[in-house]
Structure 1
Amino acid sequence: MKKGIFILSTFTLLSFSSLVQAKQNICVFDLLGKAGESYKFIEEWALASKNWGAEVNLLAYQDEAKVEKDFKAGVCDAFYMTSMRARAYNKFAGSIDALGGVPSNHIAQKAISYVLDKRNKKRLISTIGNEKYEVAGIGQIGTAYLFVRDKSINTIEKAKGKKFAILHYDQAQRIIVQRIGAEPVMADISNFVKKFNNGEVDMIAAPAYAFKPLEIYKGLGTTGTMINFPVVNVTADLIIRPDQFPEGFADQSRNWFVRQLPKSFAMVQRLEAGIPAKYKMNLSKEDHEKYQKLLRDGRIDLTKQGIYEQTMMTVLKKARCTVERTNFECSLSGE
C-alpha cells in the first residue's frame, strides 16, 4: 500500500514539475528573421514575460504562410505576424490596418492604445470552431506608401492598367487595386518587393521598414518614386491560445505593448527619415483628396462585406477627425 502511494506521489510530482517547466512556443514572423526589428522587439517581450509566469521559446520565421501553418498544426502556442494575415483570428484588432483608416503615426498610436485598453478585453477574445484565441499585443511596423517604377504614375488615372503586387490572402488589397483600374498581381509578403525590383510589377505599397533591407531603391532606379501618401498602416498582432498561458497573462502582455509604443513609433520615424528625399514625391492637394475618397469608399464597401469590423471603423474615423477636423469626410456619415 505504501509503495503504491509512493509511486502515485512520484508521478504527481513529475507531472507538476513538467507543467511548471512547460514552455510556450511563439512563432515570430520577421522579413529579416532574427536580424529584424520585429524579432528583436519580441525578444524584449519574451524577457518581460517571465515576470508574468511564462517561459516562452521564440521560433523565427521569414514566411508568414509557414507561421500560420505551424500555428494550426500546434507547433506554436502563439504567433506574431502582420495584422493583415492575423485578421482572420480577430477582426476587431485586424481592422486597424483598414485601407486609409490610419493616415498618420499620431493616429496609429491612438488607435493601438485604444484597442489594447482593458475596456476592449472581450473584443480581443474570439472563438473559431472549438479554439479560443486572444490578442495579447499589437506592434507598429509602419505606414505603407506607394512605390512606383515610373514617377509619371502620379495620379489615380495614370495607375489604370498598371501591374500592382498585392498580398494574395488580403481581399481588401485586391478590391482597392481593381477600383483604381490597376491589374492586381498575386504575391506574398516574402516576394512582393522582388516582383517590383525585377520589373514584374509597376507598383507596390510598403512601409519604410522594408525599404533598405529589401532594397526597394533598386526597383525605383532613376525613374521611380515613393508617393508620400499613407495607403495603409501596418501593424503586427500577437495572438495566443489563452489556455496555454498563465491566468492574466494577456492583460500583462497588452499593458507591456502599450508602454512600448513611444519606442516603437520612434523606430518607425527613424526608418522613414532614412529614405532619401530624392525618392519622395508629394501628391497635389486635389489628387491627395481623390485617393482619400477612393480609400474611404473602399473601406465602407469592405465593412459591408464583413472584411472590416464596424466598431473599429467608427473609432478610426473619430480619431482622424479629432486630428484633422476640416477633412471632407468629417461632415459625412457612413463610417
Structure 2
Amino acid sequence: MRGLILLVLLFAWPSFSTPALAAERKEFCVFDVAGANGFVYKTLEIYKRQAVAKGVQLHMRPYNNEQKAVEDFEAGNCDLVAVTDMGVRRYNDFTGSISAIGAVPRYEDLKVLMYILASPRVADHLETETYQVLGVAPMGAAYLFVNDRQINHVDALKGKRITVFDGHHDARHMIEYVGAEPVDARISNFHTLFNRGDADISYAPGAAYEVLEMFRGMGESGGIVRYPVGQVTVQLVARKGAFEERFVRQSRRLISRLYPEAMRVIRQYEDAIPESRWIDISPEDVRAYQAMLRGVRLDMQSSEDAQVQLAANAYNDDMMTILRKVRCYTNPGAEECSASDRE
C-alpha cells in the first residue's frame, strides 16, 4: 500500500510543479532616476509579483540612465523595458502622445485615460509591427520649477531660460512660442542645470523636489507653479512576440490596477513639499496657461514650418482626439469643448 502511495505521488509530482516550471523568466529593465530605490521601480515590483501568478517570472534590472536602458533593450538584453513616455515615442506615438503639452491637466483626466488604455477597444493602438505597449502608469504631473516667484503667469515666461529634453520637440516649440530660451538637457542632467543656475525654469514631477533636490535651484526666491503643464508616465514596451498575447492583455490590466498605489506615492511626494514653496496662480492665469498650451498644440498642427512640423509629428491624432474628449468629459464647460477648431 505504501509503495502504491509513493507511486501515485511520483506520477503526480509533475502536475504539482507545473506552475513553477511554466513560469517563464524574462529580463525586465526598469528606468527610474533613483534606480532601485525609486518609487517607479518599487511600484513595478508589485507588478512583477503579480506577473508570476500569470506564468511570467520577471527578473528586474534597475537603470538610472534611460538611454542605457533603451540601448540594452534594443541590443536584445531586455525582454521588457520600462521607460518614460518621452522614451517610448520611438516605439509607439499613440501612448507617446500622453505627455503632449498641457493635454492632461488634471489627475481626474489621467485616471479616465488609464482606464481607457486598459480597454481592449484601444488595443490596436498599443501595437506596431515591431513593438507592443504592455501598460502605462503615472509618474506624476509635470510642474514648472522656477527660481523667481514672479514667474507666475504666461507673460513672465518671456526671455527666461527653460530646460528642454533632447528630442522633446513639442516642448521646445512651446518654449520658443512664448518667447523663452531653450536650454538643452537630458533626463540625467536637467536638474543639475537648474540647480547650478544655468536655467531659470525646469519642468518635472513633484517628486523631483526631494529626489533630485531641486529646491537647491529654487533658492530663497523660487518655487513650484501649481499648474501641471503635462503628465509624466512610465510605459512598458516589449518586442512583438516576446510574450504570449494572453499575458500582454493581462499585463495592461495589471498595470492599470497600479494606479491607486502610484497616485498614493505621487501625492505623498507632492504633500511633502512645504506649502510655502508652491506658487498658486489666479483663475485668470490658469485660463491663460490653458489657452497658451492649446494654442501651442493647434499651431503645431497647422504650421508649415519644417521645425514646427517636427514637433507636430510627436503627436498621434487619435490620441489627441481621445485626450480632448477626456478633458471635455471631466470639464464639459471648457471653451475648447464647443470651439470650432477642436483637436
Measure, in 2, the Cα distance between the counterparts of 1:117 and 1:307: 23
Please, which moves more after superposition, 234-243 or 50-59?
A: 50-59
Q: Which residue identity does 1:137 align to in structure 2? A: G
Structure 2 counterpart of 1:268, from 259, 266, 269:
266
Measure, in 2, the Cα distance between the counterparts of 1:260 and 1:62: 22
**8 Å contact 1:226–1:279 — kept in the other structure?**
yes
Deviation, structure 1 residue 285: 2.4
**8 Å contact 1:31–1:63 — kept in the other structure?**
yes
What residue is the counterpart of 1:210 in the other structure? Answer: 208
Give the aligned CA root-mean-square deviation in angstroms: 1.6
What residue is the counterpart of 1:322 in the other structure? Answer: 329
- Alignment partner of 1:279 is 2:277: yes
Q: Which residue identity does 2:61 align to in structure 1? A: L
**8 Å contact 1:163–1:182 — kept in the other structure?**
yes
Deviation, structure 1 residue 20: 6.2
Structure 1 counterpart of 2:46, from 40, 44, 66:
44
- Alignment partner of 1:235 is 2:266: no
What residue is the counterpart of 2:79 in the other structure? Answer: 77
3-state SS, counterpart of residue 80 of structure 1: strand
**8 Å contact 2:23–2:55 — kept in the other structure?**
no
3-state SS, counterpart of residue 121 of structure 1: helix
Structure 2 counterpart of 1:168, from 166, 169, 183:
166
What residue is the counterpart of 2:67 in the other structure? Answer: 65
**8 Å contact 1:134–1:240 — kept in the other structure?**
yes
What residue is the counterpart of 2:3 in the other structure? Answer: none
Deviation, structure 1 residue 36: 0.5
Q: Which residue identity does 1:41 align to in structure 2? A: T
What residue is the counterpart of 2:220 in the other structure? Answer: 222
Structure 2 counterpart of 1:145, from 140, 143, 146:
143
Measure, in 1, the Cα distance between the counterparts of 2:329 and 2:244: 38
**8 Å contact 2:43–2:261 — kept in the other structure?**
no
Q: Which residue identity does 2:52 align to in structure 1? A: K
Q: Which residue identity does 1:63 align to in structure 2? A: N
Any gaps of 5 or more consecutive residues in structure 1?
1-18
- CA distance 1:288–1:29, change in 2 (3 Å): same
Deviation, structure 1 residue 134: 0.7
Q: Which residue identity does 2:325 align to in structure 1? A: K
Measure, in 2, the Cα distance between the counterparts of 1:22 and 1:106: 36
Q: Which residue identity does 1:151 align to in structure 2? A: R
Any gaps of 5 or more consecutive residues in structure 2?
1-20, 303-311
3-state SS, counterpart of residue 101 of structure 1: coil
1:280-328 Cα shifts (integer Å, max 9, x gaps): 1112222222211111122234456332111111111121122222222
TM-score w.r.t. the length of structure 1 is: 0.89
Matches within 5 A, 1:5-154: 23-127=25-129, 132-154=130-152
What residue is the counterpart of 1:251 in the other structure? Answer: 249
**8 Å contact 1:53–1:246 — kept in the other structure?**
no
Please, which moves more after superposition, 193-202 or 298-307?
A: 298-307
Q: Count how many residue pairs are aligned between Structure 1 and Structure 2.
A: 313
- CA distance 1:186–1:159, change in 2 (3 Å): same
- CA distance 1:75–1:334, change in 2 (3 Å): same
Measure, in 2, the Cα distance between the counterparts of 1:154 and 1:247: 48
3-state SS, counterpart of residue 211 of structure 1: helix
- CA distance 1:246–1:323, change in 2 (3 Å): closer
3-state SS, counterpart of residue 138 of structure 1: strand
Structure 1 counterpart of 2:196, from 198, 204, 214:
198
**8 Å contact 2:22–2:55 — kept in the other structure?**
no
3-state SS, counterpart of residue 114 of structure 1: helix
**8 Å contact 2:43–2:258 — kept in the other structure?**
no
Please, which moves more after superposition, 26-35 or 70-79?
A: 70-79
Structure 1 counterpart of 2:317, from 294, 310, 316:
310
Deviation, structure 1 residue 97: 1.4
Deviation, structure 1 residue 152: 1.6
1:256-291 Cα shifts (integer Å, max 9, x gaps): 112221222222222211111101111222222221
Please, which moves more after superposition, 280-289 or 226-235?
A: 280-289
**8 Å contact 1:84–1:170 — kept in the other structure?**
yes
